[in-house]
Amino acid sequence: MIIHLKKEIGNAKAQGIAKANNAFLIEEANQYVLISSSGQKEIDPQFADAVTESFVFDSDIQLASRDYRSKTRKVTIGNVTIGGNTGNTLLIAGPCSVESETQIQESSALLKELNLTTLRGGCYKPRTSPYSFQGLGLEGLKLLKQMKEEHGLNVITEVRDATHVADVIEYSDVIQIGAKAMYDQGILRACAKTQKPVLIKRGFGTTLQEFVQCAEFVLSGGNPNVILCERGLRTFETKTRFTLDLCGVAYLKEYTNCPVVLDPSHAMGHAYGVPDLTRACVAMGIDGLLIEVHPNPKVAKSDASQQLNHQEFRDLVATLNPVAAAVNHKII
Ligand code: PEP
Ligand code: MN
């Protein structure tokens, strides 16, 4: 249940009511917001004077629900805003991993050339094998910060586990919680304490209910800036790396209020399919894309087979505006 309380009652009273209802308490500019389990359907009449509005739900998708906020949630990344009625589709691009200064400078130059604002690059990689490249760690975060300072780019990078979440929060403009890390409640709770945007990737075996409840951990802890990212599910199919769940995207758009970003690169797993898949994603009227691009994919230290080279990316970008325009969106 979500309960709005008058601001005039003051913090101590709001906390008392939150405690009595076993609820989270968020302080907004003109009200307090209490969030308790969806099992709660009514408020004790003794608190009625303090309440301005209340909302009941049939599941613990509450703050992220369209039933709570019919106008979708807007999230601002640097000087760009996605979600709500902005019609923006933010094209986020860059390598799977930050590998060297030369590499990330080349990626930054490509983004600048194409008037793009948001650079991706992992520094803590959740690899399937301990013997694979694990990322540059803090050194990589410092390179991303350098790209931000030298080129004015916003940077998004992933947190793999709770040991370095503070560093990722400090150095990034958007915190990416990876598909394998989205169940880590230490990460979710740490990301709830910042106001920086958090992009949560759906685990490859995660139901939509579980996925959106991960968002609820961040939202209920007081960070309203949550973005949901579909990146493919594991199915019986082996020819493609994963299966991109566009039906799930339709669900997220219909029932949640968070911006929805798609990652065709990890879903496909092979560069050849990424351009077509990207256009299919754009045609769904989504809020953003996450595309892996590398100056020389053949020598990439992670996800080599799925990264586009720079010319392939330029060619792809040149085709996107008409598709976006057909669904009243624009690529930014
Ligand atoms: C990535 O974005 O490089 C990544 C590791 O993605 P995912 O968490 O979706 O596998
Ligand atoms: Mn990757």
| DSSP codes joined into one string, 147-161 | HHHHH--EEEEEE-S
Residue 17 CA to residue 23 CA, distance in Å, equals 8
Q: Point out the ligand 1 atom lying closest to the alpha carbon of residue 120.
A: 2
Task: Please report the pLDDT score of residue 70 as a whole number.
Answer: 78
> Block means of pLDDT (10 residues each) for the chain, length 332 residues?
97 97 95 98 96 97 94 93 96 98 98 98 96 97 98 98 95 97 96 98 98 98 98 98 98 97 98 98 98 98 98 98 98 98
Task: Please report the pLDDT score of residue 114 as a whole number.
Answer: 98
Task: Please report the pLDDT score of residue 17 as a whole number.
Answer: 97
Q: How many beta carbons lie within 10 A of that of residue 207, not counting itself? A: 12
Closest Cα to residue 69, out of 257, 199, 243?
257
| 96 Cβ closer than 6 Å to some ligand 1 atom | yes
> Model pTM?
0.97
Report which protein residue has its CA nearest ligand 1's atom 6: 178
Q: Point out the ligand 1 atom lying closest to the alpha carbon of residue 290.
A: 2
Task: Please report the pLDDT score of residue 136 as a whole number.
Answer: 98
Residue bearing tokens 């039933």 = 67
Task: Please report the pLDDT score of residue 243 as a whole number.
Answer: 98
| 179 Cβ closer than 6 Å to some ligand 1 atom | yes
Q: Are 141 and 122 in contact (CB under 8 A)?
A: no
Closest Cα to residue 185, out of 212, 210, 217?
217
Report which protein residue has its CA nearest ligand 1's atom 2: 96
Centroid of ligand 1 to alpha carbon of 287 (angstroms): 18
